[in-house]
Structure 1
Amino acid sequence: MDLMPYFYRAYGLSISSDFRLPPLPERAATALVDLTIRSGQLPAKPPMVPSKAWRAGLQAQFAQTDQHHLWLDWPPLITFVARHGNELIVDTAQTDDQVLSLFTLSEALGLILFQKGYFLLHGSAVRLSDGGVVFLGEPGAGKSTTVAAFAAKGAGVISDDMVCIRPGPAGDHTLIPAFSQVKIWQNSVDGLALPLDSMTPVREGINKFSWHESFPFDEEPVPLKQLVVLLPPNTPGSITTPVLSSQVPVELLHHFPLPDALLNGLELKKCFEQSVAIARTTPLFRMSRPATFTDLYSFVDRLNATP
């Protein structure tokens, strides 16, 4: 593995890495680094528990030795330890940059964001004229496809797969942009008539592609405007149904993207308090996903036209 440092930016963090992290564009070297990603041999693993995180067909194992050392293991491929919110140690024999990036820029990076105190959701988000809209849902709900449709219509992408929220003390919650990438399956590429020649295959699926750098993306934080839970098409009683603010915290915790074992004691209390603060000022709706790609584009047009 080439240990020459590479410099990047994602989730508002200046990052130094021992290895390349495509699709992040490389930056000029800087002495002010928020996160160091380094290769290293880790000690013997502590007892691990299975997590809900899957990547490239592998289930992650999780352990926490203390609040400053969080382990994420994808046996037999790669092991991460997040330390103090500013260092991610990577233990692997893997040398393929695409594979390393796939695992690093996911739940492993999420552990760092968690240690930094951000509120995280498994979802995707877009920037509209007056703020950001977050799309939540179960795997396969169409979150990435929905964001790709907005991007194709000129809306700015904030994040895909993991949403990072900085809670504000006065209800001024903001979305922290991730990086310029949307990962979508071949049928969505075809159905949305997206430019396949601007995409690269990803290692999560034979027919899955990374679309990046050819749609609007801005690194500046965006005010959080709205949350939407996507449900299967034509779900009875779910077309833009508002969720009571008292029910929003439980809904948000359901979409926590990291191992549930993290949510215990003081961390669970903090996460719940953050979700309550978000619920006070941010509306959440349940909505049936548009049934066709034509309907999806019509939905995008309507939301883009909303003042």
Structure 2
Amino acid sequence: MTIHTTAACGEACPPRYDETLEAHARYRAFGLDIASQVALPELMLASGNAATAADVEIRLASIPSREPHPVSYMHIFSEEELYFSWQQVGRFRVVGTGLIEIDPAPGVDERLLALPLLGPVLGMLLHRRGHLILHASATTLGGRCAIFVGDKGAGKSTTAAALLEAGHALLTDDLVVLSRDMGNAARVELGFPQLKLSENAAQAVRIADAFVEPSVHPAILKRQHRVPSSFATTPIPARRIYLLQRGEAAAVEPLSAKASLLGLMQFSYVTRFGRDALQGSEATRHLDQCARLAGLVGMRRLTVPNGLDRLPEIAALVREDLASDS
């Protein structure tokens, strides 16, 4: 792996955002034009007329605390807003479907601020905009998209990294966002060119020109790997969803329609990070979307052997499975 690093930043390193900033940088991710007062170098810069209204605005604001006493994490979901709080990071509000407000914790590094912002906060905003989101990774292989879902530690990002090492392209990591109008195909929106990998996984794969960010926080073991040279250029319809599980021998087997639906519901982003938002008509819409996706995309169980030396075997198995699909 070609590794580029920046100078390590100690606890005294100042945050990189500017609370007096009025102009907004413009980015593109998940099919959205995003204007942000917070620098988000993880995202691709948007092209086009900066004077036009953005789909989503990210703004610094003063957000009153909802906690009766300090807690490590808290969220409150209502029809009017979504409220998130991480004690060491800051408070966030999603208002409607086009505004994210951020009240950073004193002295927090913006790299740490971006983790929940580009994860649960943006994920829940996208859910509010009508998308089905999976907690997964996705790559494109020969014009076909493979999505990897599974429990924590199953190897979603690591499997995607193995396919990048084999010359394929990343579509998105962590948040897999499906187009709202699936029609006859479930298109995966382009995320941003970054993978989160453990140190062991990063040593096992060699992604050309990967830029490895310094550790964001001692408690966060995975590091961010920027992979602009291995990033897809256009959205692509999902062709296969692989449910990863650990086992002795690498294998792929189809899942029944019922198992596919249950797997999609289990690993949807809102189920894992915002179950309280699934009330009434939202729960019905979510079930309908999962059923629609299960009908459009074949789902397989992918058994992943222990041992990072087996990653090339897994990549070859996925390529073979996709190639055999008529």
Instruction: State the one-letter code of the partner of 2:33.
Output: S
2:172 maps to 159
Q: Output the aligned Cα RMSD.
A: 2.5
1:243 maps to 255
2:246 maps to 232
Contact 1:152 1:215 in 2 (8 A): no
Task: State the TM-score, normalizing by the size of structure 2.
Answer: 0.82
Mean CA deviation greater in 73-82 or 153-162: 73-82
Q: Which runs of 5+ in 1 are unaligned?
A: 49-57
Instruction: State the one-letter code of the partner of 2:290.
Output: S
Contact 1:118 1:167 in 2 (8 A): yes
Instruction: State the one-letter code of the partner of 2:184.
Output: G
Q: Give the 5 Å matches for 1:226-305.
A: 226-234=240-248, 239-257=251-269, 258-304=273-319
Instruction: Summarize deviations over 1:86-117 as a string: whole Å, max 9, x none.
Output: 11011123452211212211111111101110
1:208 maps to 222
Instruction: State the one-letter code of the partner of 2:58.
Output: I
Instruction: State the one-letter code of the partner of 1:34.
Output: D
Q: How many residues align?
A: 295
The alignment status of 1:32 with 2:53, answered yes or no, reads: yes
1:22 maps to 41
Instruction: Summarize deviations over 1:195-231 as a string: whole Å, max 9, x none.
Output: 6973112425565322113432134221010111110
Task: State the TM-score, normalizing by the size of structure 1.
Answer: 0.87
Instruction: State the one-letter code of the partner of 1:86.
Output: G
User: What is the distance in 2 between the residues matched to 1:141 and 1:117?
Assistant: 28
1:54 maps to none
1:60 maps to 73
Contact 2:33 2:46 in 1 (8 A): no
Mean CA deviation greater in 175-184 or 217-226: 217-226
1:222 maps to 236
Instruction: State the one-letter code of the partner of 2:112.
Output: V
Residue number among 135, 138, 160 corresponding to 1:125 in the alignment: 138
Instruction: State the one-letter code of the partner of 1:22.
Output: P
Alpha-carbon distance, 1:293 to partner:
3.1
The alignment status of 1:84 with 2:99, answered yes or no, reads: no
Contact 2:27 2:35 in 1 (8 A): yes
Alpha-carbon distance, 1:60 to partner:
3.4
1:55 maps to none
Alpha-carbon distance, 1:44 to partner:
4.5
Contact 1:242 1:286 in 2 (8 A): yes
Instruction: State the one-letter code of the partner of 2:113.
Output: L
Contact 2:89 2:112 in 1 (8 A): no
Instruction: State the one-letter code of the partner of 2:59.
Output: R
Contact 1:189 1:196 in 2 (8 A): no
Mean CA deviation greater in 287-296 or 272-281: 287-296
